[in-house]
Structure 1
């Protein structure tokens, strides 16, 4: 057993470049595990910097300096953020409050429908089965309500953290965009000389993360806008709120679309019942999801490394459990990172040796 492990270790890590890559991954993982919460504003700024770097580069191609291009994009980004907050957040907040107020009515209507099932299917469903199920669900609802109330009070302490984000993130974002090459050069000085595999993995991941963040933001905007406009056209209640939920559901591949179907269907049933309008809603929602999965995603992520759906779901569950929202957001790039590391350590016999620019 030990001889087998020794042979495996020598085969994989006898090369100093492989050992340096392993040490770098361990150091970065420990850094995120220990100080991830403290470094979260830096991570948020880096994510937005990836998103805005492309338009900055396009402005530079028009003859502007990087400082001027960065200033213009920062002003545009701040203006769009303010307009979104002023125009969208109040509507979402109001619709959320209305939905919370009407939730008891929706649940009572659902209970009345469940209690009719024993009369419709007496050979399969008994009334006491439904009553037991409803009692357990009501207990769970009370527990969830208490949890949400306690969480809302505890979240008041996060107001200071939000203010820090509003101040620090734009400042760091500006300097990340303006001094991008200076920061990269400074980072290269602390990296080891044996970094052939580090360059290989970092070059691949730099392209993947940039394409992923840009494509995912565009997908959220398109899917959310189309869904909200469709729901408004169909006169569905809470149309903007549900449209935003559908937009953000694309962050979680496969799982998100299935989960968001539940509130869309519940609101439709509460508003119309099982009528043609309800089925029109579900058909429209299904068409949006089909176009997203079969047209929009292939166009936006055509350069992304293909991953099997099982790997994507496992990555969402694993990294989401580790880092919450950001783990879910970066599940696919992180899964791609794992694949790139495996390829770097275990290249196939026919794999061509690529050359990458110096870090």
Structure 2
């Protein structure tokens, strides 16, 4: 066993560049994991600067200096954010509060329907199950639970002071990242070993993929959210703006988000129409939107950015989401692609591949090739 471990270690870590790549990845992971809370403004600014770099670079090509280009893009981005905050957030907040107010009535209606099912189909739905479910729902909606929610809201309000600090720091950081990009990159290289060729290959493979993924994800959120809102408004569904935004944001969590957002849409539709043709049309239209997103929009937007099996994507969402919360979920696919890129460029010891011949693991290296 010890001989096997020793042989595996020499095979995988005999190349100094591989060790350098491993230490770089481990150092970045440790920095984000242990100091992510302290460095949150810096990380957010890095993400925004990465997104805004492309238009700034295009302006530089036509003769606009980086300072002017960075200023223009920052002002444009800030204007879009302010337009969303003051134009969209108040409406969403109002609809969200209204939905929370009517939630007990919706649940009562649902419980009444379940009681009818116990009378019609007692062999499938028992009265004890309905009573237990009703008791749990009442416990969740009691006064103490609502007070706990109120305390959480107050705690969030207290963090608004931190948010105000971010609104000052993040734009400044984004501006300097865009303006002094080359200088900052040159200065950061001194902290990395010189034999970093593998790390350069990984970054070269990931750079365009990350940009394509983030750009595609933003476009997907906008398209799915807008189409869902138009469809909900056309159907006359209540809280159409709120549910449209939730549907758009659900694409952040592949395969899981669509399942989670289906529940509030079905609950609102059932409360408004009951089991009627309108409710059926609502769920059919929502299913068509999800099918078009998964089978048409996603392949078009991410054909060059994502080449991962669905099982790997779901596992990445669970792992990285558990490590880094929202940002872990948002970057789960790029991080999984990073792991794949590292595996692809990781050097292999030819001596361990001799026995594999021309098979997949041997990379076409035969005994004759090794002897030469």
TM-score (norm 1): 0.93
Which range is displaced more, 93-102 or 177-186?
177-186
* Partner residue in 2 for 1:42: 42
* Partner residue in 2 for 1:230: 231
- Conserved 8 A contact 1:312-1:332: yes
Where does the alignment leave 5 or more consecutive residues of structure 1 unmatched? Answer: 352-359
- Max radius of gyration: which structure? 2
* Partner residue in 1 for 2:23: 23
- Counterparts of 1:96-111 in structure 2, within 5 Å, are 96-111=96-111
Give a deviation string over 1:218-267, Cα, whole Å, max 9, x none. 11111111111211121110000001100100000000011111111111
1:144–1:5 distance in 2 versus 1, CA, 3 Å? farther
Which range is displaced more, 229-238 or 244-253?
229-238
- Conserved 8 A contact 1:316-1:332: yes
Count of aligned pairs: 351
- Conserved 8 A contact 1:47-1:213: no
1:144–1:45 distance in 2 versus 1, CA, 3 Å? farther
* Partner residue in 2 for 1:183: 184
- Counterparts of 1:1-359 in structure 2, within 5 Å, are 1-142=1-142, 145-345=146-346, 349-350=362-363
- Conserved 8 A contact 1:50-1:213: no
- Conserved 8 A contact 2:229-2:243: yes
Question: What CA distance in whole angstroms lies between the structure 2 residues aligned with 1:75 and 1:187?
Answer: 27
- Conserved 8 A contact 2:15-2:347: no
- Conserved 8 A contact 2:18-2:347: no
- Deviation, 1:49, is 1.4
Question: What CA distance in whole angstroms lies between the structure 1 residues aligned with 2:224 and 2:281?
Answer: 18
- Deviation, 1:122, is 2.7
Question: What CA distance in whole angstroms lies between the structure 2 residues aligned with 1:65 and 1:126?
Answer: 72
Give a deviation string over 1:135-167, Cα, whole Å, max 9, x none. 233334548645423321222331121011111
CA RMSD of aligned residues (A): 1.7
- Deviation, 1:132, is 2.1
